Amino acid sequence: EAKASGRNTYRFFNEAMNRTANETYTLSLGLAKAIELKQFELHYQPQIDIKSNQLIGAEALIRWRHPELGLIPPNKFIPIAEESGQIVAIGKWVLEEACQQVKSWHALGLTDTVIAVNLSAIQFTSGDIEETVRQTLATTGVTANMIELELTESIIIKDAENVLEKVKRLKQMGCNLSIDDFGTGYSSLAYLKRFSVDTLKIDQAFVRDMSRNKDDEIIVRTIIQMAQNLGLKTIAEGIEDQATLDLLKHHQCDEAQGYLIAKPMNQEDFHNYILAKQRGNASTIQISTDDL
Ligand code: C2E
Ligand code: MG
Ligand code: MG
Ligand code: MG
């Protein structure tokens, strides 16, 4: 019986696994409550146009404000929520909150700012992602071109034909589409082109050391060139130093996101960041950031 065999398996866990299992168990129980009580917050990380240095958007990154454990990063609970299916409900909340935020930024005068939202594969296979997006846009009064949906290569590899249809319809609705963590999966650029994505987000794994590691630089340069040939935009994430940004500019990468520009900020700090940027002094002000 499941419980008994569960206990048997349990005995073989070493201490570290045991701790992880306990933590996972505690978190998965807590998640149901977190969804009900809306214990999540979105933090926002700026994205800039490399040539003009203008703010063009921000990525929404979820955190869980746990009453006892404090701020929990997404890598600790998103995989659990994906396994349990709770990601569908969380994803709806994320989309709605993100749409409300982008509206508030537009009200501050940044009318071209796009918000990027991460989507999980489960939201394509279990939830009705099209309907969720359509309804959220309608209720928040946000136009589709103000949101960018970040897909991973794994979304696209899963159940390809079915997903292809959904992705295409999101595109037809007017949403911007990007491929997150590009270069770490197995999809070819030619294949991605069929999904009518707009942007490739080059994974931090290649960006991080590209100013010191020639191989990484070559990989990044090649991705940019291939993207250009296919008419796709590129954004590099994980930029932590000026040398890397300079190199990306040299290789004609379009957009940039990383700690060098700014860390993810909570709603209030991001508003202040926008206001400082409008006064023209955002780069001289260090706004308080993520406490993760
Ligand atoms: P991601 O979508 O690839 O997001 C980028 C991650 O890199 C973020 O981590 C961000 O804080 C971090 N980052 C940005 N710039 C730098 C940098 O210069 N250096 C370093 N070392 N890190 C940088 P975060 O916020 O912990 O998110 C981790 C992952 O969790 C995300 O990776 C994404 O896959 C997932 N995630 C976050 N929010 C959501 C969400 O609302 N829904 C879903 N399904 N997944 C989400
Ligand atoms: Mg992302
Ligand atoms: Mg990424
Ligand atoms: Mg973009």
Protein residues placing their CB within 5 Å of the ion ligand 3: 180-181
Nearest atom of ligand 1 to the alpha carbon of 264: 11
Instruction: Measure 235 CA to ligand 2 centroid, in angstroms.
Output: 11
pTM reported for the whole predicted model: 0.92
> Looking at ligand 1, which residue's alpha carbon is closest to its atom 41?
62
Would residue 288 be called left, alpha or beta, if left means φ above 0 and alpha means ψ between -120 and 50 degrees?
A: beta
Atom of ligand 1 nearest to the CA of 73: 26
CB of residue 57 inside a 6 A radius of ligand 1 = no
The SS3 assignment for 115 reads: strand
Cα 112 to ligand 1 centroid, rounded to whole Å: 23
Phi, psi of 71 (to 5 degrees): -80, 120
273 CA distance to ligand 2 middle (Å): 20
- The answer, yes or no, to whether any atom of ligand 1 lies below 6 A from the CB of 259, is yes
> Is the shortest distance between the CB of 96 and ligand 1 below 6 Å?
no
Question: How far apart are the CA of 258 and the centre of ligand 3, in A?
Answer: 11
Could you tell me the distance, in angstroms and rounded to a whole number, from the CA of residue 61 to the centre of ligand 1? Answer: 6
CA distance 199 to 191: 14
Q: Is the CB of 203 under 6 A from ligand 1?
A: no
What per-residue confidence (pLDDT) applies to 159?
A: 67
Single out the residue of 260, 253, 249 nearest to residue 236, CA to CA: 253
Q: Name the closest-CA residue to atom 35, ligand 1.
A: 74
| Sign of the CA dihedral with 7 first, then 10, 11, and 12 last | positive
C-beta 127 within 6 A of ligand 1: no
- Bridge pairing between strands 255-257 and 233-237: parallel
How many Å lie between the centroid of ligand 1 and the Cα of residue 218? 24
> From CA 169, how far away is CA 196, in angstroms rounded?
10
pLDDT of 1? 41
Instruction: Output the pLDDT for position 271.
Output: 94
ipTM: 0.98
Name the stretches of the chain with pLDDT < 50.
1-3
Counting ligand 1 atoms within 8 A of each CB, the residue from 118, 124, 255 with the most, and so the one to mutate, is 118
Q: Do 44 and 58 form a contact (C-beta atoms < 8 A)?
A: yes
* pLDDT for the residue 284: 53
